[in-house]
Amino acid sequence: MKWNKFRLKTTTEAEDIVSSMLADLGVEGVQIEDKVPLTAADKEQMFVDIMPEVEEDDGTAYLSFYLDVEAETEELLRQIQGELADMSAYVDVGECVIEESQTEDIDWINNWKQYFHQFYVDDILIIPSWEEVKTEDTDKLVIHIDPGTAFGTGMHETTQLCIRQLRKYVTEETRLLDVGCGSGILGMLALKFGAKYVVGTDLDPCAITATHENMEKNEISDDCYEVMIGNIIDDAAIQDKVRQAVRNAADTGRPSARELAAGQERAQGEVEAAGGYDIVVANILAEVLVELTPVAAKQLKPGGIYITSGIIDDKEQVVVECVKKAGLEVLEVTYQGEWVSVTARKV
């Protein structure tokens, strides 16, 4: 199917009101292009440590929208130009030139699947739902992950650094907190490594949805993995909720993942007193780790392990210093490509 593409040149000052006007006229899915610099809040939502260079903002914005080639566009374009003329009395709408072109329909929902295939992290097979496990891989540790709007398929070096550290430190008694859980891959792998209980937090509602979907694909129960939305850095309510979750897990004597798989019940009296998490893992930007680390340290029990990644190599020392300042002992620093993971212990 072919579509008519319309690209409207306006200003950054007017882009929001023009977008609203287009929606009122029945135009759906407006794409905005501008050179407005990202805010600090915007950057916190992105999983990159080096931002690409962009041209200086010149106040120009382009709004693109698509209409069926069979649709009557002449009247709609006339209405749009009329609305823009009215707006120009109180806001700078710019040139308001509308360029028209044609484009072929694309299966945006599924087309990206051709770029994501099963792969290995050491002896772990990470595989999307549309591919089959090969016979020769049946002895591998298998995790099913469908990439989507949430970060974390296991392909990125920072995720792999965390996976290897988790494998090193997770035990059958581990209660783990994953800050910025994304797709849920780290928490789910921790459970497959034998951890008893995981709490994941994230700012993005898409991450919560993605984690639940991936839990279902991997047959992981809500009894083992609890997901929460919120900013643990500065939201006292989320901090309390996370702290209470690990207490509840200890009080109720949740069985480990292996015990669940074997259908075994833990005997009364085997439940240890709750004192915080055994491991906190955070695969986030270095700047966020600086703010997060003092908060994460308070969620750890004495002797607990703090695993961080998402650190570009030239910011290694920044994270090491903030970890030490929070009263943690640096155990090791590991590397993959230009990325760094810092692992520490609460003394």
152 contacts 185 by C-beta, under 8 angstroms: yes
**In this predicted structure, what is the pLDDT of residue 278?**
98
SS3 150: coil
Q: Are 123 and 140 in contact (CB under 8 A)?
A: yes
The pLDDT score that the predictor gives to residue 29 is 80
Contact 195, 257 (CB under 8 A): yes
Quick one: pLDDT at residue 144?
A: 95
**Which residue type does 232 have?**
I
Residue 146: the pLDDT is 84
Confidence check: pLDDT of 52 > 60: no
Q: Specify the higher pLDDT residue, 271 or 234.
A: 234
Mean pLDDT for the chain overall? 87
Mapped onto helix, strand or coil, the DSSP state of residue 336 is: strand
H/E stretch holding 209: helix 205-217
Integer Cα distance of 63 and 344 in angstroms: 48
- pTM > 0.75: no
Q: Strands of 141-144's sheet, edge to edge?
A: 119-121, 124-127, 141-144
Tens digit of pLDDT for each residue in 276-291? 999 999 999 899 999 9
- Nearest Cα to Cα of residue 292 among 195, 177, 183: 177
336: amino acid identity, one letter: Q
Mean pLDDT for the stretch of residues 36-55: 60
pLDDT, mean of residues 221-233: 95
The number of beta carbons lying within 10 Å of the beta carbon of residue 256 is 21
DSSP states of 250-270: HHTTPPPHHHHHHTPPPPTT-
The mean per-residue pLDDT over the stretch 82-106 comes to 90
Residues 189-200 pLDDT 10s: 999 999 999 999
Q: How much of the chain, in percent, has pLDDT values that exceed 70? A: 84
Residues 107-161 have pLDDT tens digits of 655 666 677 889 999 999 999 988 999 999 999 999 999 876 567 888 899 999 9
Report the C-alpha gap between 220 and 191 in whole angstroms.
9
Choose among 319, 347, 152, 346: nearest CA to 334. Answer: 319
8 A C-beta contact, residue 125 and residue 142:
yes
Amino acid 204: pLDDT: 87
Domains of the chain: 2-104 (3.30.70.120), 151-346 (3.40.50.150)
**Length of the chain as a residue count:** 347
Position 46 pLDDT exceeds 60:
no
In the structure, what pLDDT confidence band is assigned to residue 273 with cuts at 50, 70 and 90?
A: very low
**Rg of the chain on CA atoms, in Å:** 24
pLDDT at 306: 98
